Structure 1
């Protein structure tokens, strides 16, 4: 089983353990619905973290372990967008509203930005490494 350690968090294949919780997503078998789950590391207890008829996936813990970023189509989007939700509860906040597909994304080490691999709906243009500032929703583009 592969793993890496950053900021007190351990990444396992499909999981990230951060402090007392690990996270993953599960898809309902016959539906295009998935939700995020937290697992208490010490007890093994599973907690439902998001609910609804959307597809929530790809949870990414912030470096400080206080927020989870994830992909979701919860506003009836055709393409999933990045959302943020605090670990201590509250509603998910939509971070992006882009027309295309996120191929991958991750937090910057300081937790203030994201690095994303994104493909515009127009296949002639491939954009990589979008850097998003969480405080101002500023996005910079770099084409390859």
Structure 2
């Protein structure tokens, strides 16, 4: 009787070699899925692992990469007509996130931002001709050279570089600032008609200010800022109803950035808010509108 071979042992290297699949995005046509495949770990002295955007047809079992190996690409988002994909990344995996647009035809993605501070978030405008991006203020001249020389210490709250909203043309890459005063933007969502955004904003960009950020509507033409919701709680994931009359948002009294769960609040443009999950024996992490009167929460 032959002995069965010993089962292979799982090692640390096996775990580090695993790749993470995330952020599946489906266009309006429903015929394709873009998603991210990321390395599980980065090399020594590197903080950001490499990642790629992949594409698979819903009728085909053969996925293909849209971005090159050895780079960083993530957060793919389809244009409203499904003809283009925008994503964040950098050809140097350790560089700041920049905004890229990849058209329907095979080819190289076009980089449409190049600022030293990169891009923290973006969304397509409803007409598909442009994007709104949250872009941090650039570091002062000379700071990069100081860090490269080893003088990389940080002074707590020494600077107050705000993240501001910009409008970017998807074809020409021309960009223009969106006026909203000296407010730091933590998150935002564009209204269905493209006339406004709702954003979580604060006067300070420092981490402690996130805990008291308020929900505000920013008119993209005038720059007028109107507070819709403020209180002693943390907020995340603002989402417009399709008719543009209400905004849903997750609110919590015990969350930290990136780990936010709580109740679901629906806020009208008149500032009247309703907690529609009060008494539920669970915390919600995300919220999306199914139609003008129903929400999908997880």
TM above 0.5, one fold?
Answer: yes
TM-score interval, normalised by the smaller of the two chains: 0.7 to 0.9
Match of 1:16? 25
Kindly indicate which of the two structures has a greater share of residues assigned to strand: 1
Distance 2:168 2:69 in 1: 27
Shift of 1:113: 1.3
Unpaired runs of 5+ in structure 1?
Answer: 1-12
Provide closer, same or farther for how the CA distance between residues 30 and 136 of structure 1 changes in structure 2, counting only shifts above 3 A. Answer: closer
Q: Work out which structure has the larger RCO, using CA pairs closer than 8 Å and 6 or more positions apart in sequence.
A: 1
Distance 2:128 2:171 in 1: 11
The aligned runs of 1:106-121 (5 Å cut-off) are 106-121=123-138
TM-score by length of 2: 0.41
Shift of 1:75: 5.2
Distance 1:106 1:125 in 2: 22
Cα root mean square deviation, aligned? 2.1
Provide closer, same or farther for how the CA distance between residues 96 and 42 of structure 1 changes in structure 2, counting only shifts above 3 A. Answer: same
- 1:28 is matched with which residue: 32, 39, 44? 39
Q: Which of structures 1 and 2 has the bigger CA Rg? A: 2
Match of 2:168? 132
The aligned length equals 132
Distance 1:83 1:98 in 2: 13
Shift of 1:87: 2.9
Unpaired runs of 5+ in structure 2?
Answer: 1-21, 43-48, 140-158, 184-298
Distance 1:33 1:77 in 2: 9
